[in-house]
Amino acid sequence: MRYRLGVGVGVVVLMVLSASPAAALADGSEFGLSVFAAVILGLVEGVTEYLPVSSTGHLLVANEVLGLGGTEASDRALDTYAICIQAGAILAVLVVYKERVRQMIDGLFGRSEEGRRVLLAILAAFVPTAILAITLFEFAKERLFNPTAIAIAWIVGGLAILVLTRIRFFDRIGSELAAITFKQAALIGLLQALAVWPGTSRSLVTIVAGVLVGLSLRAAVEFSFLLGLVTLSAATALTALQDGGELVDTFGIVTPLVGLVVAFASAVIAVRWMVAWLNERGFEVFGWYRLAIGILTLGAIGAGWL
């Protein structure tokens, strides 16, 4: 079942990246966000947000393939939508890790020492990420938010996964999440800022960083997801407050909400599948996938399709 789901995930994303722009926009306006496009983007976001393959990279390439945008207003609205749709993935983590989230809330009110420790560790990781991301975002957006840069990041990340798998990096014996230190958390947060380059993958960077600083793979994965809960919530809230009105004016309310619901449902499935897959089979499949999608994207660029 898990193998079939994994294959299905790959097929869905590959279908997105090879779909016909004309067909994708058949039920929408020339530069609008059709329900079909919203569903596709919701699937891409939900499936890829927490997998080590980069949701931002997939969404940017998917926008190109689907032929979305074309005007200044629609391009800005799509940028806003790509961030706001993360709300679906945020809700997915709340569902999958509800016991840990409840423990952290108890820690906030002094009812759980472990919950307080994990919550403070997440905040310690979030602060350096926020500072570096704000500093580097405009630079990265001008130079790295394009299919070529994304493809290169996919390939480099794929090779890194295969090398780390070969040297059994992810098999290291490490501490559990309850024992995480603020120093470990801060280092993970610093490295998370590398994910400002689309295609790198926030989850990949934070999981590798977690294992590197001494966490077990299971603890690193959980911390990555919980840190993503805070990081994505902050980015989504800030973007919604600043540009949410323009998003609604351009695309309406219903169609973006359809994408958000699809993102939530697919993210719940993807997170549960990834945790089970990593426990049983490891990271190698994601390395090969990143190489394949990176080479496919470079080929599409060379053929003039992107």
Could you report the average pLDDT of every consecutive run of 10 residues in the chain (306 residues)?
40 38 37 86 94 94 88 87 91 93 96 96 95 91 93 97 96 94 96 94 96 96 95 92 90 92 95 88 94 96 91
Q: Which domain holds residue 276?
A: 2-302
One-character DSSP codes across 64-113: HHHT---SHHHHHHHHHHHHHTHHHHHHHHHHHTHHHHHHHHHHHTTS-H
- Count Cβ neighbours within 10 Å for each residue of 189-204 and write b for 16 or more, e otherwise: bbbbbbbbbbbbbbbb
Task: Give the pLDDT confidence score for residue 301 in this predicted structure.
Answer: 95
Task: Give the pLDDT confidence score for residue 305 in this predicted structure.
Answer: 87
Task: Give the pLDDT confidence score for residue 71 in this predicted structure.
Answer: 82
Task: Give the pLDDT confidence score for residue 278 in this predicted structure.
Answer: 86
Distance CA 201, CA 48 (A): 9
Distance CA 268, CA 183 (A): 30
Q: Count CB-CB contacts under 10 A for residue 130.
A: 18
Distance CA 30, CA 144 (A): 26
Domain total of the chain: 1
Task: Give the pLDDT confidence score for residue 25 in this predicted structure.
Answer: 35
Q: 3-class SS at 215?
A: strand
One-letter amino acid identity for 235?
Answer: A
Task: Give the pLDDT confidence score for residue 70 in this predicted structure.
Answer: 78
Task: Give the pLDDT confidence score for residue 74 in this predicted structure.
Answer: 85
- How many helices (H) and strands (E) in the chain? 14, 0
129, two tokens: 């990420």
Of 5, 49, 30, 22, nearest in space to 260 by CA: 49
One-character DSSP codes across 156-197: HHHHHHHHHHHTTGGG---B-GGG--HHHHHHHHHHHGGGGS
Check if the beta carbon of residue 107 is closer than 8 Å to that of residue 117.
yes
